[in-house]
């Protein structure tokens, strides 16, 4: 998952929104950690307990990574608006866990990553992923580099 995050980082640029879906422990944060490594940003990507959005500035001249865990956000768009993601998105890569129904209004262009994990089998470390590019931004993007 981490390696996939690293590969995904190569496709991303400022203004990109990535939505990560999948049950608790599916690997959303793990993927984001790899993404942060691939983008070369400062600070370890972690599962926030209280912090809902964390900005990881680039160590080079790339875009910062804004990592949002919206799990504890219940109020939908009002609470989301307080995060000012619309302000940071144009110059950042924004990755959101648990963002369904909360961040879609930010942009029509987004990469939708769904992580499936075999339910009930705790020994199964294998994840299956569905990655869908939505909107103009991703219309002609070559996502096969992720599986090469």
Ligand X SMILES: Nc1ncnc2c1ncn2[C@@H]1O[C@H](COP(=O)(O)OP(=O)(O)OP(=O)(O)O)[C@@H](O)[C@H]1O
CB 86 within 8 A of CB 106: yes
Q: Which of 45, 32, 39 is nearest to 5 (CA)?
A: 32
- What is the smallest separation between the CB atom of 61 and ligand X, expressed in angstroms? 28
* 19-38: contacts with ligand X (CB under 6 A): 22, 24-30
- Distance between CA atoms of residues 27 and 2, nearest Å: 9
**If binding means CB under 6 A, how many residues of this protein chain bind ligand X?**
13
Q: Which of 13, 8, 15 is nearest to 115 (CA)?
A: 8
Please tell me whether residue 125 binds ligand X under the rule CB under 6 A.
yes
**Binding-residue pattern over the window 46 to 75 for Mg ion, x denoting contact by CB under 5 A:** -x----------------------------
* 45-104: contacts with ligand X (CB under 6 A): 47, 97
DSSP of 21-65: E-STTSSHHHHHHHHHHHHTBSS-----SS-SEEEE-BSSSSPPE
Please tell me whether residue 28 binds Mg ion under the rule CB under 5 A.
yes
- What is the smallest separation between the CB atom of 69 and Mg ion, expressed in angstroms? 6
Please tell me whether residue 102 binds Mg ion under the rule CB under 5 A.
no
Chain contacts with ligand X (rule: CB under 6 A): 1, 22, 24-30, 47, 97, 125, 127
């Amino acid at each position: 998952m981490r390696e996939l995050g690293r590969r995904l980082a190569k496709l991303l640029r400022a203004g990109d929104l990535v939505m990560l879906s999948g049950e608790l422990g599916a690997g959303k944060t793990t993927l984001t950690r790899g993404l942060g490594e691939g983008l070369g940003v400062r600070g370890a990507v972690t599962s926030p307990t209280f912090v809902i959005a964390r900005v990881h500035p680039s160590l080079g001249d790339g875009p910062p990574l804004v990592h949002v865990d919206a799990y504890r956000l219940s109020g939908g768009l009002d609470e989301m608006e307080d995060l000012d993601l619309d302000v940071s998105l144009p110059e950042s890569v924004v990755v959101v866990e648990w963002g369904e129904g909360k961040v879609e209004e930010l942009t029509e262009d987004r990469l939708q990553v769904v992580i499936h994990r075999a339910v009930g089998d705790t020994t199964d470390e294998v994840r299956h992923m569905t990655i869908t590019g939505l909107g103009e931004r991703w219309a002609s993007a070559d996502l096969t580099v992720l599986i090469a």
